[in-house]
A and B are shown apart, each in its own frame.
Chain A
Amino acid sequence: MHIPDGYIDLPLALLFGALAVVVLSVAAKRVNGEISDARAPLLGVVAASIFAAQMLDWPIPGGTSAHFVGGAFAAILLGPHLGALCVATVVTIQALVFGDGGLVVLGANVFNMAVVEVYVGYAIYRLLVPYGEFRAAFVAGWLGITAGALTAALQLGLSSAFQYQLLTTLSIMGVGHLVLGLIEGAITASVYRYLARARPDLRPNAAPEVSA
């Protein structure tokens, strides 16, 4: 889902870059001074685990595949604001150090994966958590990555490189990630359930420093 340079028209790239800056600035203000010393390293560990997990491309026979993005996972474990900063850190390093995703479109990539996927995933999780944490985390991961993909498809489909074929980009990326997102949901729910059972002190409600 990392968009390279040249795919999105410059005005759109700038618009979504500005939106990403605004959202992340607000997120940073919301959590500033609220993270305990003991919990600060968790941000680094979650970011590093998301980076490493994103390197594991799922080898699905047939060609079309994806990798874990982790936006909903970060949101559930860290809270949405810290989760957004966490994924933004990953996406930025991927672009600057590894050339995964363009530099001009970095803001758009951050918006798709660190804003849309994180906040949509978190909203879905909060909505469904009364029906069970596992189910809520699964659907959050599943639909969170789909929402991020649809946003990317919107940006691409409104750009000249894609000949403004919005329906094509929305259908290919929307359906693709709706199916592949089931794996994202399964990983999100399984890892979160393991962590919640093994280390309940790491759950966000065990450290109320992150406000929704």
Chain B
Amino acid sequence: MAWNRPDWLPRALAALLVLTLLAPAFGWAAGQVGYAEPLENAAEATDATEHATAVGTALFPDYGVPGLGGATGTFVSAVVGTALTLLLGAGIGRLLGADTDQRQ
């Protein structure tokens, strides 16, 4: 049942931290150049933008935190999202692990 922590994990976590630290800077830079994806361009070209709806109640809408500034909110979102995917992904990996049947 013990988790075998691989020796590459600390360096991988450090790399993840660097990526989350970069998120606010990239977010700012993208805003400066008027970032738009081809999907948004296609929506504008076909007058589809008004059809976009938001039915969800996301905790961190648009990778921000209500009440926090842009850069801080982006960083918090990056940390939360990265941690969530790390835990969920590792959990799925564990669930599909080789010794699952032996544990049950």
Contacts and interface: CB of A to CB of B under 8 A. Distances in A.
Question: Do chains A and B stick together as partners?
Answer: yes
Interface of A: 1-7, 28, 31-53, 55-66, 82, 85-86, 89-90, 93-100, 102-104, 149, 152-153, 156, 161-163, 165, 168-169, 172-173, 175-177, 180, 199, 202, 209
Contact of A59 (B6, B12, B29, B59): B29
Contacts of B8: 199, 202
B58 A97 contact: yes
A14 B12 CA distance: 37
A66 B37 contact: yes
A56 B19 contact: yes
Given A40-B94, A48-B82, A99 B62 contact: yes
Interface of B: 3-6, 8-9, 12-13, 15-16, 19-20, 22-23, 26-27, 29-30, 32-39, 41-43, 45-48, 51-56, 58-63, 74, 77-78, 80-94, 96-101
Main secondary structure of the interface of B (DSSP, over half): helix
A131 B13 CA distance: 33
Nearest to B26: A56
A89 B58 contact: no
A168 B92 contact: no
Sorted nearest first, the 8 A-B pairs with minimum C-beta distance are: A44-B90, A176-B38, A99-B58, A47-B89, A40-B93, A43-B93, A44-B89, A59-B29
Most buried by A among B5, B16, B32: B16
B35 A65 contact: yes
Nearest to A104: B55
A66 B88 contact: no
Contacts of B83: 48
B23 to A, nearest CB: 4
B45 to A, nearest CB: 6
B93 A165 contact: no
Contact of B19 (A32, A47, A52): A52
Contacts of A180: 38
Contact of A32 (B4, B22, B96): B96
